[in-house]
Structure 1
Amino acid sequence: MEFTDLIAPQKYNLTSEIDRFNSDRIALRWENESGEKRTVTYHELITKGKQFANVLNKLGIKKGDKIMTIVPRIIDAYIIYLGALRAGIAVIPGSELLRSGDISFRINQGQAKAIITYKDFTDQVDHIEEQMTSLQYKISVAGDTDGWLSMNALMDGASDVYSTVDTDKDDMAFLTYTSGTSGTPKGVVHTHAWAYAHLRIAPKKWLNIKEGDTVWATAGPGWQKWIWSPFLSVLGKGVTGLVYFGRFHPEKQLQLLQDYKVNVLCCTPTEYRLMSKVDHLKEYDLSNLHTACSAGEALNRGVIDIFKNTFDIQLKDGYGQTESTLLIGTLVGKDVRIGSMGQPILNEFITIIDEDGNPVPEGVVGNIAVRRDFPALFKTYYQEPERYQAAVLGDYFLTGDRASRDADNYFWFQGRRDDVIISSGYTIGPTEVEDALLKHEAVKDCAVVAKPDTIRGNIVKAFVVLKDGYTADPSLIPQLQKFVKQQTAPYKYPRAIEFVSDLPKTVSGKIMRSKLRELELRRAGEKQGK
């Protein structure tokens, strides 16, 4: 693959990739927890998207504007994205796990003109107390909500004739927020050109999507990984996507893989771990599965062996970020090296450098870095160029992770350069959890780090110093956990809390999270050694 193959035409809208398949070809097979099923063709999906583009324009939302959406794994999610992007409107993805404060921050910082929310999630928006001066419309999806416009009603009678807006390749398509080690979440700006490059990398070099495949990528809308795979990699390749709207159960996931004869699976290591523990695993028929990929955190050897021995399926690791596409992974046609992250998708753009910006020799640990002219790298952090510059070293953007490489350019993960926690595929900034805990009347000080966990890879652990007059009683732990769930997205809450008398700090008073991480790693090692 040449560099020029990844460069989009100057005038480009990513929906043109999907329009190529405008036919009765099946785009999505949808099923929910109750067993209801729907099948949607490419023509139906594209037509509905055009209707929604007209809906947005009629409300006065036009090219260059932004909308936020909080919608789960339903067909409407695809319609919303297709309609907005066709109209040149950027989408701010939002998870249903976000709380009022998370939502208002994204609306205000992202200057969203509308929020489009699934009917069951509207309460969090209605409870927002902050002023949201940019917000003009609230639209309820899949049902009516008092005080909200109804997507169903707006779509009823809307024209399905729409000429795609003349967008430039550098126009914003997505504004996705990601956690950082300090401060507020960062708004990652992806252009239409990013989608062009992504489509020519991940589906071919990693997911191994082939004509006629059924692809199940389990990520939910609201996450950049949904844009990566269920949305772009499926629809941009004209194959059929499986969408399941229901709670995760490993037995159900295996049954769906069998029933829908899935050819490509992409899910988190946690999902693979839990599936591997299912009794009578051999009774499931996964013979149609030719590719099984994993991203979000490292896979462990035991799970890899179980899938290989049971189904003759080699689980493939993948590494990327909200800021990029797939950067490193077990690539199509390449040997698997257990424990390795895999190889860079393009050697000339992804490397390992030292603190001076120089590539390191094989076997030496350094910073995973991406050349800044890589076409599938984000443009900047929205309205915060200084945060982008802080992650730049010379010609490279630093991912924040460290690794070494061997003679064959396989990368071997060594840990985070910073304090970000990755748990069950979720990226969690410790500051967000600490800020929530510090609002509790009993908490004087706290520090949050990753604690190794056999199922989730890591869990969030909080070391808490209590105020005078409060006792380190075990009954206080669930109270603090519940409090954090009310303050921020529930997946961020500390699954483990330890009360301490003080925290390790530098002379200037900065908490040394590294010391606490080392403590947890040492404890995990001692536990395994027993």
Structure 2
Amino acid sequence: MIRRQPWGQLRGQFGRFAAERGFLDDAPIHGQLARFACKRTFGNGAGEACSAWPPEVWHSKTGLRNDHFGKILNHEAPIPLHFNFAKDVFAAHAMDIATGDSDALVHVAKDGTETRLSFHDLLEWSQKIARFLKEDCGFQPMNRVIVILPRIPEWWALNLAAIQCGVLLIPGTVQLTSSDIAKRLLTAEAHGVICSQETLARVQEALEKRSPAPVHRLRATIIAASSSATTDPTPLVPPGWKVLPGLQDKDLDPLTGYFPSRSGDPCNLFFTSGTTGLPKLTLVNHVSYGMGHWGTGRYRIGPFEVESALLEHEAVAESAVVASPDPIRGEIVKAFVVLSESYLDVAHDPKQTAELIKDIQTHVKTVTAPYKYPRKVVDEFGNRLPPNQEGILALDLRKNRPIGLFTKYWKNDEATEKVLKKDHYLTGDRGYIDEDGFAFFISRADDVIISSGYRIGPFEVESALLEHEAVAESAVVASPDPIRGEIVKAFVVLSESYADVAHDPKQTAELIKDIQTHVKTVTAPYKYPRKVEFVSSLPKTISGKIRRIDLRDHEVGKRPIS
């Protein structure tokens, strides 16, 4: 562990180098420790930081300046040639006297046990794991390791360690079955797997029974136990398996060198959720992961801005804005509105209610700034479409490629070419952009229903369905029809108070008719579901997204609903 010592004890050439840059201003170090600190904070060579990062970019104590992250994300500054989050950001914070001892991670276990790790503690632990991965396991840069761990401190230390030594982590949820794990091992051509005690049996089954092909590539199989456990954290280790170093492990020295990663080098691999087919493996580079997440935290929709805009509308007396779960987009903005006295009667008329909601939404759109990212609407060939014309929502890559955008699908050129056309990234969402630059989502491209020539997006229909008191959850897909080509079919999970209706044919028919009438009043009549089927649950991915592909296959007789 690096000790921070009084100013007068700073000695030698490396000590002077650290002092000149304000490194550990009031707690410098000397001799070998000074060299160690300079390497940790500034890279493998003492002068590396000066040549790679100019003073206006690199803060002497906290590494890359936060405001410079914003400039890079907004394309106001060039992307650096080299970037390694573990070195350029985390280690810099850990070595700063002002932030090194502050909390970097606070973990609360299910039993209430709290574990607090400072930046310095987490850095030292991750460096021990990095040595373990490199020397004990034999992992080389660009080796791929699947990690199936719950939310325990080991995950964050392991992530930093992998970035430090250039190993590509592939995270997986603990809900994966042995079959899921086997497919992922095969797709990723994994060199290693790290799991916890609770997923060990499934991983072993995947390795021994389900997926013999990738076994020969494995350099190491590793089991991890939570350092925050109140019980004995020592796991039961199968023959040939290794144990990930714990927080209190004293047998390893920290690894001080860092993989000299360029910004565009691979950093992580992530499996897609698999809503439209088998999960694909996406490649993310160092700058996308390290700097892209900074943007994730900074650029978010603030409720205050939306509430302020709502209150400017004459019909709104009070408002509250929250994030609401959405099966397609993860979360959407939902507003709860108390109407002013002169508009109270509107709430009793469905048609007037729908009109007022649309008017309020239009008002909020006009008084809040549009999202200023380079978005376009294109056709299936990548040709740009004019405002208010429906097409595929896309990101314009001609001038600047978004920092957080994934690089490509791993070893799947065909899938990559489908989403990258004419310098545009096709999101797979259908919608349009108005003349003010606001984008409107209609549906996923794969989910569009073409009925009698009408293009119908399931999102609007599902939103209308959810406004009916009998509907707890719904999914809308195309169903083949000999006259119209396709018709709208809704799979509906009934709310608890209506659950018994599904067992009575007469009540079922009456409720279906009532739901269809409701949808006709809320949205365009041609969009209403001509078929409605009540189901106990909807097929979903592990991450909770509805698998419409299963419902579509069910409609054409390929498979039952599971």
The verdict on a shared fold, with TM-score over 0.5 as the criterion, is yes
Aligned residue among 163, 177, 183 for 1:85:
163
User: Which residue number corresponds to residue 158 of structure 1?
Assistant: 252
Deviations along 1:353-385, whole A, 9 cap, x unmatched?
Answer: 234434333333221101343333211100101
Q: Would you say 1:12 and 2:94 are equivalent positions?
A: no
**For the residues of structure 1 that align with 2:426 and 2:220, how far apart are their CA atoms?**
38
Does the C-alpha gap of structure 1 residues 65 and 199 become closer, same or farther in structure 2, counting only changes over 3 Å? Answer: same
Does the C-alpha gap of structure 1 residues 498 and 47 become closer, same or farther in structure 2, counting only changes over 3 Å? Answer: closer
Structure 1 residue 386, shift from structure 2 partner:
0.9
Does the C-alpha gap of structure 1 residues 494 and 374 become closer, same or farther in structure 2, counting only changes over 3 Å? Answer: closer
- Are 1:189 and 1:382, in contact at CA under 8 Å, matched by a contact in 2? yes
Q: Secondary structure at the match of 2:155?
A: helix
Aligned residue among 236, 239, 246 for 1:145:
236
**For the residues of structure 2 that align with 1:104 and 1:56, how far apart are their CA atoms?**
22
User: Which residue number corresponds to residue 112 of structure 1?
Assistant: 190
- Are 1:352 and 1:360, in contact at CA under 8 Å, matched by a contact in 2? yes
User: Which residue number corresponds to residue 442 of structure 2?
Assistant: 414
- Are 2:130 and 2:255, in contact at CA under 8 Å, matched by a contact in 1? no
Structure 1 runs not aligned, ≥5 long: 209-266, 274-293, 307-334, 421-448, 465-472, 517-530
**For the residues of structure 2 that align with 1:406 and 1:493, how far apart are their CA atoms?**
29
User: Which residue number corresponds to residue 351 of structure 1?
Assistant: 376
Structure 1 residue 338, shift from structure 2 partner:
7.0
Q: Secondary structure at the match of 2:325?
A: helix
Query: Which structure shows the higher helix fraction?
Result: 2
Does the C-alpha gap of structure 1 residues 201 and 10 become closer, same or farther in structure 2, counting only changes over 3 Å? Answer: same
Paired residues, number: 356
- Are 1:341 and 1:413, in contact at CA under 8 Å, matched by a contact in 2? no
Q: Where does 1:129-528 land on structure 2 (aligned, <5 Å)?
A: 129-131=210-212, 132-133=214-215, 134-142=217-225, 143=233, 144-147=235-238, 148-152=241-245, 155-180=249-274, 182-199=276-293, 201-206=295-300, 269-270=324-325, 296-302=330-336, 305=337, 337=364, 343-346=370-373, 349-372=374-397, 373-419=401-447, 489=542, 491=544, 503-504=555-556
- Are 1:336 and 1:342, in contact at CA under 8 Å, matched by a contact in 2? no
Deviations along 1:472-500, whole A, 9 cap, x unmatched?
Answer: x99xx9x9989x89xx84957989x9999
Q: Secondary structure at the match of 2:211?
A: coil
Name the aligned partner's letter for residue 139 of structure 2: I
Structure 1 residue 20, shift from structure 2 partner:
2.3
Name the aligned partner's letter for residue 106 of structure 2: R
Does the C-alpha gap of structure 1 residues 7 and 74 become closer, same or farther in structure 2, counting only changes over 3 Å? Answer: farther
Structure 1 residue 408, shift from structure 2 partner:
2.9
Aligned residue among 21, 30, 34 for 2:107:
30
Q: Secondary structure at the match of 1:301?
A: strand
Does the C-alpha gap of structure 1 residues 493 and 376 become closer, same or farther in structure 2, counting only changes over 3 Å? Answer: closer
- Are 1:297 and 1:457, in contact at CA under 8 Å, matched by a contact in 2? no
User: Which residue number corresponds to residue 521 of structure 2?
Assistant: none
Does the C-alpha gap of structure 1 residues 391 and 11 become closer, same or farther in structure 2, counting only changes over 3 Å? Answer: same
Q: Secondary structure at the match of 1:62?
A: coil
**For the residues of structure 1 that align with 2:170 and 2:200, how far apart are their CA atoms?**
16
- Are 2:128 and 2:245, in contact at CA under 8 Å, matched by a contact in 1? no
**For the residues of structure 2 that align with 1:183 and 1:130, how far apart are their CA atoms?**
20
Structure 1 residue 457, shift from structure 2 partner:
9.2
Does the C-alpha gap of structure 1 residues 490 and 165 become closer, same or farther in structure 2, counting only changes over 3 Å? Answer: closer
Q: Please give the TM-score of this superposition, normalised by the length of structure 2.
A: 0.54
- Are 1:97 and 1:490, in contact at CA under 8 Å, matched by a contact in 2? no
- Are 1:86 and 1:165, in contact at CA under 8 Å, matched by a contact in 2? yes
Q: Secondary structure at the match of 1:298?
A: strand
Q: Secondary structure at the match of 1:20?
A: helix
**For the residues of structure 2 that align with 1:411 and 1:499, how far apart are their CA atoms?**
27
Structure 1 residue 48, shift from structure 2 partner:
0.9
Does the C-alpha gap of structure 1 residues 122 and 463 become closer, same or farther in structure 2, counting only changes over 3 Å? Answer: farther
Structure 1 residue 196, shift from structure 2 partner:
4.7
**For the residues of structure 1 that align with 2:286 and 2:395, how far apart are their CA atoms?**
19
- Are 1:205 and 1:345, in contact at CA under 8 Å, matched by a contact in 2? no
Structure 1 residue 418, shift from structure 2 partner:
1.4
Q: Which structure's CA Rg is the greater one?
A: 2
- Are 1:7 and 1:196, in contact at CA under 8 Å, matched by a contact in 2? no
Q: Please give the TM-score of this superposition, normalised by the length of structure 1.
A: 0.57
- Are 1:201 and 1:345, in contact at CA under 8 Å, matched by a contact in 2? no
- Are 1:107 and 1:135, in contact at CA under 8 Å, matched by a contact in 2? no
**For the residues of structure 2 that align with 1:453 and 1:356, how far apart are their CA atoms?**
35
Deviations along 1:81-131, whole A, 9 cap, x unmatched?
Answer: 000111011110101121112112222211221111122122221221211
Structure 1 residue 41, shift from structure 2 partner:
0.9
Name the aligned partner's letter for residue 173 of structure 1: C
Q: Would you say 1:50 and 2:127 are equivalent positions?
A: yes
Structure 2 runs not aligned, ≥5 long: 1-70, 95-99, 226-232, 303-321, 339-361, 449-460, 480-501, 504-532
Q: Secondary structure at the match of 1:374?
A: coil
Does the C-alpha gap of structure 1 residues 341 and 269 become closer, same or farther in structure 2, counting only changes over 3 Å? Answer: farther
Structure 1 residue 185, shift from structure 2 partner:
1.1
**For the residues of structure 2 that align with 1:122 and 1:51, how far apart are their CA atoms?**
23
- Are 1:298 and 1:341, in contact at CA under 8 Å, matched by a contact in 2? no
User: Which residue number corresponds to residue 442 of structure 1?
Assistant: none
- Are 2:162 and 2:169, in contact at CA under 8 Å, matched by a contact in 1? yes
Does the C-alpha gap of structure 1 residues 5 and 96 become closer, same or farther in structure 2, counting only changes over 3 Å? Answer: farther
**For the residues of structure 2 that align with 1:457 and 1:418, how far apart are their CA atoms?**
24
Does the C-alpha gap of structure 1 residues 76 and 7 become closer, same or farther in structure 2, counting only changes over 3 Å? Answer: farther
User: Which residue number corresponds to residue 116 of structure 2?
Assistant: 39
Deviations along 1:185-225, whole A, 9 cap, x unmatched?
Answer: 111000102135415533333378xxxxxxxxxxxxxxxxx
Q: Would you say 1:102 and 2:180 are equivalent positions?
A: yes
Does the C-alpha gap of structure 1 residues 96 and 172 become closer, same or farther in structure 2, counting only changes over 3 Å? Answer: same
Does the C-alpha gap of structure 1 residues 343 and 51 become closer, same or farther in structure 2, counting only changes over 3 Å? Answer: farther
- Are 2:223 and 2:237, in contact at CA under 8 Å, matched by a contact in 1? no
Q: Percent identity?
A: 22
Structure 1 residue 10, shift from structure 2 partner:
1.8
The alignment's C-alpha RMSD in Å is 4.6
Structure 1 residue 410, shift from structure 2 partner:
2.2
